[in-house]
A and B are shown apart, each in its own frame.
Chain A
Amino acid sequence: MANETKSESAHGEKGHGGHGIGKYIAVWVALLCFTGLTVYTGHEDLGAINLPLAVTIATIKATLVVLFFMHMIDTPTANRIVFVVSIVFAIVLIIGVFGDLWTRNEMTLPSAAPSTLGPEIQVSGPGESPVPVHHE
């Protein structure tokens, strides 16, 4: 059998079910607290911080679920690498696209994106054709 199976069985013997349910309850309580926090801060208008803060709280919640509910904390390394790598590439996708958007010239951004230079094209509503709007 493959080399990795040996370490897996050594792992498996000790990890599972040996502990009580306290850890799960604690994680659940923490998740609820963070949910409360994100609901509260999400509705306050904190300007540009809103999105990163919400994503940070969500990431903390997700980490708790992944590490403890999904037992990633005591699962074989191969499984951990798989999951982490998929998240990393999802982030690569998002960063790659945003890298493009943030480094473009103003003129090549799609309609209605805020622009203080040059004429703006505004889409007035569904089905209507775009109308150029000039700022003084």
Chain B
Amino acid sequence: MSQPVNSAEPAEPARATVNYLNHDRGVWSWLTTIDHKRIGIMYLVSVLLAFLIGGIFAMAVRIELLTPDPTIMGANTYNRMFTLHGVVMIFLFMIPAIPGVFGNFMLPLMLGAKDVAFPKLNLLSIYLYWTGAILAVSGMIMGGADTGWTFYAPYSTSTPETLFPVLLGVFILGFSSIVTGLNFIVTIHTLRAPGMGWMRLPLFVWGIYATSIIQVLATPVIGLTVGLFDATRGGDPVLFQHMFWFYSHPAVYIMVLPSMAVVSEAIAAFSRKNIFGYKMIAYSSLGIAFVGFFAWGHHMFVSGQSTFENGAFAVISMFVGVFTAIKVFNWVGTLYRGSIVVSTPLIYICGFLFFIVFGGMTGIAVATVSLDVHWHDTYFVVAHFHFIMVGAVIMAFLIALHYWFPKMFGRMYHEGWGMVAAGFIVLGFNATFIPQFLLGNAGMPRRYYMYPERFQALNVASTAGASLLAIGFVIILIYLTFALVRGKRAVDNPWDSRGYEWLSASPPPKHNFAEQPIITQDAHSYQNPGEEVEHVVI
């Protein structure tokens, strides 16, 4: 008979009990696992490796841009560097990271389920990821793709041979994304614990749900953007852009929605307060997903698209700002009068809030056609999307990594080093990308190998900032690895969070829960009269 297990109880620090990590041993048991937690860990290792590769190419680009003239590489190599950086970061990290790692790990736990709906399909998704990743990266290294990650015709149609393995790799990665999204949607619909209606879903689940809808609907379209766009044979390059961006714009919401979902979870935990405006945040997630499908043309303002559509896409794009603003307001409302726990995740949360507001506002700015005509293909746009992709998404990834570190590994990281690294990251980020806004506004184009003298100071500043960022990431890598093997053992719920995933042990056993949980309270519910919870310190 299942007991209501919704209240957190003081527990002893987990000893070396049998959990999902040590339940079965050997590489083969990992490669053939259908346990969503193990798949999540494999995704973690994979996306971190991808992030490292993408980061190396980013540093290569930034070092080259230290001087207005050639610095360390030739022009063609430079084109290949930023293509590699873009393709690896977007397709191998940004899109799969939070859903693949934390969606996989946390979703069933948050729903009170034993696994996702289709565990074998889940395993297939990571094999698709590895296949696509290897194809794409090796294709770029050997073939030398130099089109930028957007592969625009007509340049891309004049070098088809070298692009084929890359395109095939991206195609296969798309399937990994679709399969993951499909799995999550069915899981959320069918595997919720008794008592968990839709309005009791954790906000992380809402975010993953909206993301999965986009993954399933948008990704297939990019599967067939081949063969039709050679202008010398009557093809239309602008049609390529339409089809490309019909996926790629919703794709950026695949990146951002999970990160917002993470923040919703963590901000309630670190304010020790009920989330402000649960319903509005949930509906805004769906709103962003919906509006995101109708906005793709804002990437094409200067492509020859009609003025009418330029205007239409501009106006529609601004609605995304409305939903994002609702969320920001609610997050700040959660922090307000909360009992703030100063910790590494909180620093990243503050960074996230600042960067998403700033990045989002510059998004509204570039959505304005009359302004974007000047900013298009300059560093202003580059800075805008890095503010969201790095400032919001990667901050959120780090929040998730730190917040759920004890859940996944049963150990705590060193808070002091965590905060040091957070300082490097937040400051380094500002130093990298704020100069890029100024550069873009002053007219420096993106993807340019050489630039006028007068832009050098800002470029040097940006590279210096990138170095700080890199140092921050290295510090994180070091202390987290250390924590994995020698970190203090954590209790089951060290943050005293009210997320449902904390009802299971940390790390969880292979089948997640000893007994089927029954949900009797709302999600993120910190303030409930009559419920006394002891704050447990190890």
Contacts and interface: CB of A to CB of B under 8 A. Distances in A.
Direct contact of A and B (CB under 8 A): yes
Contacts of B217: 85-86, 89
B308 A99 contact: yes
Chain B interface, >50% SS class: helix
B242 interface: yes
B305 A92 contact: no
A19 B69 CA distance: 78
Contacts of B306: 99-105, 108
Given A5-B190, A110-B236, A100 B293 contact: no
B296 interface: yes
B308 A126 contact: no
A97 interface: yes
A89 B293 contact: yes
B386 to A, nearest CB: 27
A102 B293 CA distance: 20
Interface string B263-294: 00000000000000000000000000000011
Contacts of A97: 239, 242-243
Chain A interface, >50% SS class: helix
Given A2-B192, A4-B189, A92-B294, A100 B197 contact: no
A89 to B, nearest CB: 5
Interface residues of B, number: 29
Given A1-B194, A100-B306, A110-B234, A93 B189 contact: no
A100 B190 contact: no
A103 B307 CA distance: 7
B343 to A, nearest CB: 35
Give chain A's interface residue range (CB within 8 Å of chain B). 20 to 34
Contacts of B309: 96, 99-100, 103
A100 to B, nearest CB: 5
A96 B234 contact: no
A112 interface: yes
Contacts of A78: 189
B242 A104 contact: no
A124 to B, nearest CB: 11
Interface in A40-95: 78, 85-86, 89, 92-93
Contacts of A32: none
Most buried by B among A1, A86, A93, A100: A100
Nearest to A101: B306
Contacts of B304: 104, 108
A93 B294 CA distance: 9
Interface of B: 189-192, 194, 196-197, 217, 221, 231, 233-234, 236, 238-239, 242-243, 246, 293-294, 296-297, 304-309, 312
5 contacts: A2-B189, A92-B294, A93-B221, A97-B243, A123-B233
Closest 8 CB pairs of A and B: A103-B306, A103-B308, A104-B306, A2-B192, A108-B304, A100-B309, A97-B242, A110-B236
